[in-house]
Amino acid sequence: MGILIKNATIITGDQILENHSLLIENGIISKIADSIDASGVEEIDMNGDYVSPGFIDLQINGGAGAFFTKDLDADSLIKMGKVHMEYGTTSFLPTLISTSHDRIIKAIKAVKEVQGTHGILGMHLEGPYFNVKKKGAHFEKFIHSPEKSEIDSLIEEGQGALKLVTLAPEVVDLNLVRSLVDNGIKVSAGHSNASYAEAMAGFKAGISKVTHLFNAMSQFNSRNPGLVGAFFNSNAWGAVIVDGIHVDYAAVRVAYNLTKGRLFLVSDASFVKHPIKEFEFDGFKIHYEDGNYYTDEGNLAGASISLYEAFKNCVEKLNIPLIDAVKMASTYPAIYIGAENEIGYVKEGYKADLVLLDKALRIKSVIKDGEAID
């Protein structure tokens, strides 16, 4: 049975349509108009409330009790997908943090088992090709510069599933960066102490994004502009954690003003809904304190918010226009990952991945592939 959503304020990703209706058939948005007549369908009267494209999170480490780097199985990915979908995230990249090469390959195989279900778009590999000076919460014993054989293995095993790799451009042969990009794998700069020149060389080699802007990277300075300065002076995309802890809201506002149109949101969530008080495996140890996760050294270890909360913070804490906040939570990540012809917009012919919000931006319902999520 189809769904008719009527009397809605539709945030399409391009514009806001007042008093419009949309029809969902076979999991696809089949029609959008100011008025639609349809029989034999479920009707949802929005009474002027919002319909947004489903949120898209390109950096999720875990959710509920699952942590992908520890579990490395399809069940943990499904659990992560289900819990984040409750918060409006209808598509995501499960993210593997620095670990051994054997575990990286095992993770890719787990993703392939369930890719295309539960919102799983593919995998984000965050590390282990980092600058140890900017390791953050990552376990130092795994951090190293990659050999060509490692990158060749990632390309071969990750075909179709490995969508994004975060690395430090100053510790990786840029020919290896080009190899990843040439084989359809996006590369992002992060956990990097790159100079401005090193960062710009990385962008020239095909690095197209920075990972959790401002965090674990060389900062902007008048004499040493660093990775942050290079990002501001580039055409690269930026992903930022808007929880008020990882980045001050004022700094997010600066980035938004300087890079509007290429800045989007990630949660970098370690756990949501059921915070784990203490967590340890294979040398990686974090604890939950005052709403956030930290290592014993005091470094932030992922976030404890959902992308929905980051989206709300953009509107309520930063006064970013609603349409821009939706773009940052959905449209821009869809464009970046190359899925903008299927998701990231509310348009005819697109997947019916939607978040229904009231005027206070509280979630009323989440629809995935045309089905309401229980």
Q: Tokens 């800045």 — which residue?
A: 263
Alpha-helical (H) ranges within 116-190 are 148-157, 174-182
Q: Is the CB of residue 302 less than 8 Å from the CB of residue 63? A: no
Sheet holding 284-289, edge to edge: 278-281, 284-289, 292-294
98: region left, alpha or beta (phi > 0 left; psi from -120 to 50 alpha) = beta
Beta strand ranges found along 26-122 (DSSP E)? 28-33, 42-45, 50-53, 55-60, 62-63, 66-67, 89-97
Contacts of 167 (CB under 8 A, 6+ apart): 127, 129, 130, 146, 177, 187, 188, 189, 190, 191, 192
Q: Report how far Cα 119 is from the mean position of its chain's Cα atoms.
A: 12
152 tagged catalytic:
no
**Catalytic-labelled residue, pool 57, 71, 243, 268:** 268
Q: Is the CB of residue 253 less than 8 Å from the CB of residue 228? A: no
172: region left, alpha or beta (phi > 0 left; psi from -120 to 50 alpha) = beta
182 closest CA partner among 214, 201, 154, 221: 154
Please give the positions annotated as active site.
Answer: 268
